[in-house]
Amino acid sequence: MMDSYNLTTDIPEVQQDISYVRYVLVGVFFLPCAIVIFVGNTFVLLAYKRDKRIRKNTTNAYILNLAVADLLVSVVMAIYVPLYFTGTWKFGGAFCVVLCVLDYTATDMSVMTIIAISVDRYVMVQNSLRHRSRQSHKKVAIICSIIWITCLATHSTLAFTYSSRTGFLHDEDRIAACDLGYGKNLVVLVMTFLVEFLVPALCVFALNLTVYFRLKRRTIILQTRQGRCHLSSAVPLDYRASPTTSLENDDMRIHRSASGSQHQKAARFLALLLCVFILCWLPYYINECYAFFYSSSVHTEALTDLVSYIMAYIMWINSAINPILYAFTNVFFKENFKRFLRCK
């Protein structure tokens, strides 16, 4: 009896300590991260609008779409601030469902756009001239619109159907936590893990690996052709002006422009995106799986909620890092970011 009494009296103290930790995390880390996400991705939008050099490249339209998705993440984070401060959701069950739809849609759009950028880079390396002639801003807009509509429709259907079937809108405790309970359903947990993390990570990895080997093989071919050109310089002029040699030189110039430093920088950019994506998203799903298979007791429920908040925060950091990657890997974005920071 004495042990159980001490245990119950210690619970308020533990919860009070966790509340202090929550205040520190929200004030020192969560809010600044939301501000960085908002400012960084706003810089991307402004840079795209003001710089014709950025708009000229159709691939940057995907980066614009990624910035819009990440900007929506910052809005969702700002709405979550009262919940993370107090531990209680006070805006009703319906708005909680809508917010969850926006949350999952924004994060999924960020992931799907990274895949679209990887596919676009793969097609460009495959055939640069055909990609340049067939790709347009209109096509990119159509592709991004389809992805947005698909993600929004999928998560709206899932959230409203799941909440009605589980009685979420009539459960005051779940509404107070703004938790639809996806993590407690094995089918939903596995599907979100596959669609949002595993399949995108494998797709981006496979596409980047293919691009890397193609660029490496193309570099070897260029070096071989350059060696032939040096050898042909010793041949008399009458033999150098053949149509075959002229075609080879033209082809070499085309491939040199298609497989130069621009593609290598893009490959490094995509590799960085993949690494950041894995580091930010993997802890979230590890925690979700742990929480599913080792359901917490009443005494550790507050601690479990706090850990879930931290894992979601780590996942959202991905949206703060993406604009920084633009600044370090794209000269035009870097120039505009410097102007914005200097208020010029």
Domains of the chain: 2-341 (1.20.1070.10)
In this prediction, residue 263 carries a pLDDT of: 60
In this prediction, residue 298 carries a pLDDT of: 46
In this prediction, residue 154 carries a pLDDT of: 92
In this prediction, residue 334 carries a pLDDT of: 87
Catalogue the long-range contacts made by 65-69 (C-beta closer than 8 Å, 24 or more residues apart): 65/109, 65/113, 65/116, 65/140, 65/144, 66/109, 66/110, 66/113, 66/114, 66/117, 66/322, 67/41, 67/322, 67/323, 68/41, 68/109, 69/106, 69/107, 69/109, 69/110, 69/113, 69/319
Instruction: Copy the structure tokens of residue 191.
Output: 């599907």
In this prediction, residue 323 carries a pLDDT of: 86
In this prediction, residue 266 carries a pLDDT of: 64
In this prediction, residue 134 carries a pLDDT of: 76
Determine contact, residues 43/322, Cβ cutoff 8 Å: no
In this prediction, residue 343 carries a pLDDT of: 59
Instruction: Copy the structure tokens of residue 205.
Output: 């990895």
Question: In sequence order, which residues have a C-beta less than 8 Å from that of residue 231 and are 6 or more positions away?
Answer: none
In this prediction, residue 22 carries a pLDDT of: 74
Residues of the chain with confidence (pLDDT) below 50: 1-11, 14, 234-235, 237-259, 297-299
